Amino acid sequence: KTSIGKSIARALNREYYRFSVGGLTDVAEIKGHRRTYVGALPGRIIQALKKCQTENPLILIDEVDKIGRGHQGDPASALLELLDPEQNSSFLDHYMDIPVDLSKVLFVCTANMTDTIPRPLLDRMELIELSGYVADEKMAIAERYLAPAAKEVSGLKDVDVNLEKEGIEELIKSYCRESGVRNLKKQIEKVYRKAALKIIQRLPEEEPSEGSKVREEVREEQEDATKREADAATESTGQPQEAPKLEAVQVPPDVHVSIGKDNLKDYVGPPVFTSDRLYDTTPPGVAMGLAWTSMGGAALYVESILQSALTSSSRPGFEQTGNLMSVMKESTVIAYSFAKSLMAKEFPDNKFFDKARLHLHCPEGAVQKDGPSAGITMATALLSLALNKPVDPTIAMTGELTVTGKVLRIGGLREKTVAARRAGAKTIIFPADNMSDWLELPENIKEGIEGHAASWYSEVFDIVFGSVDRHAINQLWAKELAEPEKSDKTTREDED
């Protein structure tokens, strides 16, 4: 986000100034201190104008979602005047104490989430959401910029060390799944640092001769003399002198290092992420949904099981686990109610939900999960159990579900589509209201995936389960739920 701000300033031919308000609790940092205080200074805005020496710079206010609040005022409220076009033509800094026209300044604020930004402040800004990088974009950034820069920083610019394309792909897939490239940059730098260490360790150690020992002593004496001269110059001038440059290690030209997929773990350790697909063949009661997190998209499986055997005397029940938050818990209840309603309408003789005690679970219980977009996935998992019919493991779905079966709009379709490809899905079901988002996706993201838009759950049912034998479904659990036959008891009376 910060680099985008620099690019905007360069494109508009404006001066650029950035300051962060993350953790800021003092309103005087923005509006300045009054001149009566010792060491008083103008606020950051006036300092920006002073440094840029123009009245129309681009000022980037970074991490505006992490702004604090303390006993010294509310900086978020101070930004209201700053970002309001109707008021910032006469911005009053406490130190300057004269109105300053900021109407020509272009303000760009960055944030990772909008939930923590005060609503009045958010209303004064035009919101532009930036989706995370997909794998192809990360690959291009790594090959063109990250890898060459990391190689040069590690001192391997003139050494034949090559991080292959397959190695970068493995890094992106199994080590770095965040939406940006910061962690990818760290891992690439780690690869080259480890490569430099391995090269140094392989170099043969030269046995010191008598002549080399003498030369070493002379060199140490020269270094000590140089250091004494530098200290003396520093004391006389007050300016620190540059340290003498060390001689670089000469790497033989026959050293060749290639880092690919097979030997990558020797440099960065075992993979952090394994395959997204938990099931190669899904049993009845399991469906693959899609989630959207701060790290991008992810496959979210929903599992449902029968807790106890079905009998005519069993009682229904429903339990959900998986560290679900309030909204997602409501989604499970809605999915359960809708599944019972659909079975009652379409298959009235199937009494599965009238007698079944069910348990619904979302794996990775250590991760908090919230949001309504898994509604159709939960309903599909429950219906799969009731119909005793497994769901195709290559079908992924996302969409909010209402109790009447309406499929509502969701967010993060781009990231979820990337996650579906990564999990090996060939079909993705999404709400019809998201059709415009689907059409805007680049073809390289949709490659190999067939998209289906659904307005009602009946359309999802037809895609997932296809045509079903109604008579067979109605009689599916008849044997388990049949009343036990009462045996005739005969009594024999003894005659006296």
Active site residues: 373, 416
Closest CA to 332 of 393, 391, 283, 381: 381
| Residue 141 CB-density burial (10 A; 0-12 exposed, 13-18 middle, 19+ buried) | middle
- Residue 254 has which token pair? 């026959």
Which of 297, 435, 290, 432 has the alpha carbon at shortest distance from 373?
290
Nearest Cα neighbor of 101 from 28, 46, 146, 162 is 46
Task: Please name which of 77, 42, 40, 82 lies closest in space to residue 61, comparing C-alpha atoms.
Answer: 82
Rounding to the nearest 10 degrees, give the CA dihedral for residues 136, 141, 142, 145.
160
